[in-house]
Each structure stands twice: as C-alpha cells, then as structure tokens.
Amino acid sequence: MSYSRRNFIKGVIAGGAVATSAGYLFRGSGPLFGQTSAPGSVERLVTLNVNGQTRRVDVLKQETLAMTLRYKLGLTGTKLGCDRAECGACTVLVDDVPRYSCSVLTHTVRGGRIVTIEGLARANGALHPVQQAVVDEQGFQCAFCLPGFVMAAVGFLKTNATPTREQLAHGISGNLCRCQDYDKILTSLMRGAEYLRRSTT
C-alpha cells in the first residue's frame, strides 16, 4: 500500500511524546500529536491579545483561532458554523479586520489585536452601538450567525462608516444566515452604523 495514511501514522508514533495542552479539545495525554518541536519551528506557549487582555495559551501548531478562543479561552460567543471559511459564524476581528477564525492558525495572529463578540460591550456592560441596534431592531432569528455578522459589520464600518444598504450588504456578504433573515439583519446593522456615527461624533 502506497497510500500515505498509514505511513503518516507510523511517522507520528515515531515522533515521540509531547507536552500536554491545557485546553479541552487538544488536551490529549497520548503521544499522538506528533508535536515535537523541530528546531526553528514555533513555540507552543504563546501570548495572545484578546479583547484587550493579554492571555498566555498553549497552542498546538495546527490549532485554529476559533478553537483557541472556544476551547482554551472559554470565549464561546464565536461560533463554528462550517469550520471551512464558508459561513462566517466564526468571524472575529484581527487588527480591526474581519477574519474567519476557523481558518486562521492561532500562531499566525500572535502579534495581532483579536476582538470577539465578547469584547464589544464596554466593561460596564454598555452594549456596543451595533449590538444595541440589533437589540433595538430585533435583528436575527436563531442568532447562531449573529456574532459573526456583528463582527463582520463592526469591521466593515471601520472602513466605511456611512454605507448605503447595498454597500453594507456587500460588507457582510461573507456571512450566511440560514433563517435568511437578511432583510432584518441589514436593517439592524444599518441602525448600528447610525448609532456608531452618533456615538463617535
């Protein structure tokens, strides 16, 4: 058999024991991670800037930002809808830019400012203007896509604070809503843009 799977597994087993990760998803105790550190490769213990806080995390090399947030840092507001960069539920801001956190290796954003849905509201609990607008307009139905949409909108509004409805639709077009409540979502996020302008002037 020349298929690589078996050989790969053999290779991994030969790789030897590894340190355990602190999180849930990749917490395994066994030798199966193959997480030996070749010279020059990334260090597993990293410092992340999430929602304005500095967090030390043990991150596997193949770990995505969504997994780190959800399973290492307890930030479950970031949802996984497809885990394949297609639905946008996992959208977070990295240096103000909306990214699919399911398709970002955590190691590649070590130096970035990461903001999730949990980091939008102020410390006193006051909602971010876009969040407030969603509440006021009763945006979203099942709301599983909500965090991703809101983060995409917040990111987009940093580049265009006065969008038309069409422009905003383009800005949040990387997010799917299966309730297909697009009209009301757009209405609430347009209201959010308005609140945001008001709050900054």
Partner 1 sequence: MGILTWGRNPWDQPILTHISWDLFWASLFAGVAFFVAHAGYMVFSTHRKRHASETDAMEAARADLPPRIVRHSGVARAFHWVMAAAMFTLLLTAFLPIAGVKFAWVTWHWTAGLVLTGSIVFHIVHATVWLDFWSIWVGPADLPELRAEVLRELGHEVPGPRPGKYPLGNRLYHLVIVLAALGVVASGLVMMVRVRTPFFTRNPYLFSDATWGGTYVLHGLAGVALVGLVIAHVYFAVRPEKWWITKSMIVGWITRRQYLEHHDPDRWAVNAGPEPRA
Partner 2 sequence: MAERLIGRNYTPPDLVAKVTGRARYAEDFRADGMLFTKLLLSPMPHARVRRIDASAALAMPGVKAVLTADDLPDLGGGERALTNEPVYAGEPILAVAAVDELTAAEAIERIEVDLEPLPFVTDPLDSLRPGGPNARLEGNAWGAPLPGGQGPGAPAPLVTLKWTPQDFAEADMGRLPMGKPLEEWAYGDLDGGFAGAALVLDETFVVQSTCHHPMETRSAMAYWQNGKLFIHASTQSVAQTRGNIARWVGMSPSDVMLICEYTGGGFGSKGGGAVSSVIPAFLSRKANAPVMMRITREEESYIGRARTNMTGRARIGFAKDGRITALDLYIVQDCGAYGPLGDHRSAGLAASLIYQPPAMRWRAVNVITNTPPRSQQRSPGPMQANGIIEPVITKAARQLGVDQVQIRRMNSPEGKAAFGPAAGPGGQRAHVTSAFIKQALDRGAAQFDWEARKARAGQRQGSKIRGVGVAVGPHGAGSIGFDSIMTIRPDGRLYVQSGVGNLGTHSVIDLARVAADVLDMPWDKVEVIWGDTGKHLPWTCMSVGSQTTHAMTRANHAGAMDTRRKLQEIAARDLGGSPDDYDIGGERVYRRGAPGRGLSYAQAARRAIELGGKYDGHAVPEDINPMTKESAASLVGLGLMGIAKDNYPRDGVTYSFVVGFAEVEVDIETGKTTLIDYLGVGDVGTVINPRSLLAQIKGGSCLGIAHALFQKAVVDPRYGVTLGDRFHYSKPLSILDVPASMKADALDIADPETPVGARGVGEPPVGAGYGAVLNAIADAVGEDVFRRAPVTADIVLTSLENGRRMHDPLRAHV
Partner 3 sequence: MAVIRDPMPAFELFQPTSVEDAQALLRRYGAGAWVLAGGLDSFDWLKDRIKRPEAVVDLSGIPELRGVRARGDGLEIGAMTTLTEVVRHGVVRERYALLLDAAEAAASPQIRNQGTLGGNVSQDTRCWYYRAGWPCYRAGGNICYADTPESINREHAILGADRCVAVNPSDTAPALIALDAQMVIRAANGGERVVAAEDYFVGPGKDITRMTVLQPGDLLTAIRLPGAWAGARFYFEKVRDRQVWDFALVSVASAMVVGAGGAIERMRLAVNGVAARPLRLQAVEDLVRGRPANEATAAVAANLAIAGAQPLRFNAYKVPLMRNLVKRAIRGVEATTWAS
- Bridge partner residues of 58 (DSSP): 45
Looking at residue 64, the DSSP 8-state letter turns out to be: B
Give the number of residues in contact with partner 1, rule: CB under 8 A: 3
Residues with Cβ within 8 Å of residue 176, at least 6 apart in sequence: 81, 86, 87, 88, 89, 145
Task: In whole angstroms, give the CA distance from residue 146 to residue 129.
Answer: 15
Residue 99 Cβ vs partner 2, minimum distance, rounded to whole Å: 17
Establish if 89 lies at the interface with partner 3 (CB under 8 A).
no
Among the residue ranges 38-46, 107-115, 162-170, 193-201, the one whose residues contact partner 2 (CB under 8 A): 162-170
Residue 28 contact, options partner 1, partner 3, partner 2, none, Cβ 5-8 Å cut-off depending on partner type: partner 2
Q: Give the x/- contact pattern for partner 1 in 1-40, rule: CB under 8 A.
A: xxx-------------------------------------
Kind of pairing, strands 45-50 and 91-94?
Answer: unpaired
Which tokens in the block code for residue 89? 């539920």
Q: Contacting partner 3 (CB under 8 A), which of 27, 158, 170, 178? A: 170
Residue closer to partner 2 by CB (options 108, 173) is: 173
Q: Are 26 and 19 in contact (CB under 8 A)?
A: no
Q: Which residues bind partner 1 (CB under 8 A)?
A: 1-3
